[in-house]
């Protein structure tokens, strides 16, 4: 499966797509209200078939609801049912049920088998109207779903999921592997000793973000000046996200060009977020790993994750001695067994490589890794 994203041309007819998104938001809130009422009375949730039948009857006498296709309505009901099943299954784990959403903040609707038609070139027909999009790449494979998304700035994007048939086979060489350790000061530390620092785009633009936020809060609510200030603040945040994502893509390309197998430690991102907050959001480890896995799969490379609880920082990479305790502010430590001096991040990266290599049956290859320059 492959996901392709295209931006729609700005045109006055786009108001019809935005109207569809607003109608999808109203239907979504109505379904959630029915579920809440049924759950309060009987302690259960409505089945997807019952809610779809109810919505189908209401759509016949509501022209606004008819603006969004039946395929999108079915998708809304299925998503709500899935969310309620997870809620009832994991109630003890503080999983919340789906809640109401403001119409202006509702983002998308999804069409599956019907409701759209690709006309070739850069044109697509949705709801008997033709729209144009930036045709940046060819659409290859069978189209499974089409989603129209609205950004905070009001721009529209078309997201297509296609069934890709060309899946590369994973091939790797024993000599081209590396372990990587994430850090707060150094973004990535490689097992060969090289380090990659994060630009920290949010930290660079924090003063501009604060200034735009103060400017927005001073404007009168409901005024055009406040809306203009809001869009200016959103553009600042989008610029940070775009620059960070561009750096992630380039870094992922460089790492997968250098190595065939890359080993990482499984991260507890929620726990890290509670401890370091904005710092973790700026580094965005999870987003980078998603991009790296996608690039590695496309190139036929492999990304391997080791167990979260493996003490990579406290284990000596020379003799295997494991320390009982290691404070987080200790950056270097001497092994009491072999007296070797270990850098915290470098030692962890080597251990991650060794454990990952043994996991996939490569044995001890920690000193066979070539250097990488990023």
Distance of CA 189 to the CA centre of its chain: 23
Residue 86 — pLDDT band, cuts 50, 70, 90?
Answer: confident
For residue 120, give the H/E element and its range. Answer: strand 116-120
308: tokens are 């979260």
- Looking at every residue in the chain, the average pLDDT score rounds to 86
**Distance (Å, whole) CA 248 – CA 292:** 8
**Distance (Å, whole) CA 351 – CA 358:** 11
More confident residue, 368 or 87: 87
**Distance (Å, whole) CA 183 – CA 190:** 11
| CB neighbour list of residue 162: distance below 8 Å, 6 or more residues apart | 1, 2, 3, 4, 139, 140, 141, 142, 143, 144
125: tokens are 């027909």
DSSP string, 161-210: EEE----PPP---TTSEEEEEE-SSSSEEETTS-EE----HHHHTHHHHH
Q: Is the separation of the CB atoms in 56 and 72 below 8 Å?
A: no
> What's the confidence (pLDDT) of residue 180?
92
Residue 27 — pLDDT band, cuts 50, 70, 90?
Answer: very high
CA 224, 152, 244, 138: dihedral to nearest 10 degrees?
-130
> What's the confidence (pLDDT) of residue 165?
62
> What's the confidence (pLDDT) of residue 311?
85
3-class state of residue 77 by DSSP? helix
> What's the confidence (pLDDT) of residue 19?
93
Instruction: Give me the mean pLDDT over the 47-68 stretch.
Output: 90
| CB neighbour list of residue 198: distance below 8 Å, 6 or more residues apart | 187, 282, 283
Residue 372 — pLDDT band, cuts 50, 70, 90?
Answer: very low
For residue 123, give the H/E element and its range. Answer: strand 123-126
What pLDDT digit, counting tens, does each position of 228-265 carry?
999 999 999 999 999 999 999 999 999 999 998 999 98
DSSP string, 127-166: TTEEEEB---S---SEEEEEEEEE-TTS-EEEEEEEE---
Residue 316 — pLDDT band, cuts 50, 70, 90?
Answer: confident
For residue 243, give the H/E element and its range. Answer: helix 224-258
Residue 366 — pLDDT band, cuts 50, 70, 90?
Answer: very low
pTM, two decimals, is 0.81
**Distance (Å, whole) CA 113 – CA 91:** 34
What pLDDT digit, counting tens, does each position of 145-185 carry?
999 999 998 899 999 999 876 655 555 555 688 899 898 88
Domains of the chain: which residue ranges?
2-163, 177-204+242-359
What pLDDT digit, counting tens, does each position of 159-168 carry?
999 987 665 5
């Amino acid at each position: 499966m492959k996901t392709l994203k295209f931006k729609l041309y700005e045109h006055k007819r786009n108001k019809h797509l935005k109207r569809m998104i607003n109608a999808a938001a109203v239907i979504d809130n109505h379904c959630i209200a029915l579920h809440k009422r049924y759950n309060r009375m009987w302690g259960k949730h409505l089945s997807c078939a019952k809610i779809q039948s109810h919505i189908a009857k209401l759509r016949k006498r509501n022209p606004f609801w008819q603006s969004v296709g039946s395929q999108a309505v079915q998708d809304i009901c299925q998503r709500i049912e899935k969310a309620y099943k997870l809620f009832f299954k994991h109630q003890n784990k503080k999983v919340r049920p789906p809640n109401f959403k403001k119409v202006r903040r509702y983002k998308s609707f999804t069409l599956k088998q019907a409701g759209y038609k690709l006309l070739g070139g850069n044109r697509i027909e949705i709801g008997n109207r033709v729209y144009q999009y930036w045709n940046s790449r060819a659409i290859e494979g069978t189209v499974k779903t089409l989603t129209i998304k609205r950004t905070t700035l009001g721009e529209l994007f078309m997201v297509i999921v296609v069934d890709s048939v060309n899946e590369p086979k994973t091939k790797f060489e024993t000599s081209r592997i590396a372990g990587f350790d994430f850090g707060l000061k150094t973004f990535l530390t490689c097992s060969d000793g090289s380090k990659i620092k994060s630009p920290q785009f949010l930290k660079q633009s924090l003063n501009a973000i604060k200034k735009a936020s103060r400017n927005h809060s001073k404007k009168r609510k409901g005024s055009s000046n406040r809306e203009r200030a809001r869009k200016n603040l959103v553009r600042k945040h989008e610029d940070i996200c775009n620059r960070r994502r561009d750096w992630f893509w380039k870094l992922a390309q460089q790492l997968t060009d250098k190595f065939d197998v890359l080993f990482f430690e499984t991260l507890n991102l929620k726990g890290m977020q509670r401890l370091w907050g904005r710092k973790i959001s700026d580094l965005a480890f999870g987003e980078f790993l998603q991009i790296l896995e996608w690039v590695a799969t496309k190139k036929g490379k492999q990304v391997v994750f080791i167990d979260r609880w493996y003490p990579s920082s406290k284990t000596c990479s020379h003799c295997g001695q494991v320390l009982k305790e290691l404070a987080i502010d200790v950056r270097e430590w001497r092994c009491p067994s072999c007296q070797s001096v270990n850098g915290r991040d470098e030692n962890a990266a080597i251990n991650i490589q060794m454990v990952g290599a043994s996991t996939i049956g490569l044995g001890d290859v920690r000193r066979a890794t070539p250097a990488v320059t990023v």
